[in-house]
Amino acid sequence: MEQVTFTQAQWPGTVGELGRLPACRTDWPDGARQAFIDVLRQLDGWCRERNRPRGTNVAIAEEAVRHVW
């Protein structure tokens, strides 16, 4: 059987999406969920120490994990 390899340049939007996390955090692998919790905890701590609002921390933590996972 012949092996076929595709690059992201050949199939934009397909190959690049293979490693992406599911849309819903509850469907993430355990490591990604733990990373999210850790980042969120750090963001919340930073805000608490500086008396800053925490309203966007969940979205920021999720985006951070999505960029590195």
* pLDDT of 19: 66
pLDDT in tens, the chain (69 residues): 455 444 545 444 444 455 699 999 999 999 999 999 999 999 999 999 999 999 999 999 999 999 999
* pLDDT of 11: 42
- Which CA distances in Å does 46 have to 19, 41, 62? 30, 9, 17
Distance CA 39, CA 28 (A): 15
67: buried, middle or exposed (CB in 10 Å: 19+, 13-18, 0-12)? Answer: exposed
CA-based Rg of the chain, rounded to a whole angstrom? 17
Is 0.75 topped by the overall pTM?
Answer: no
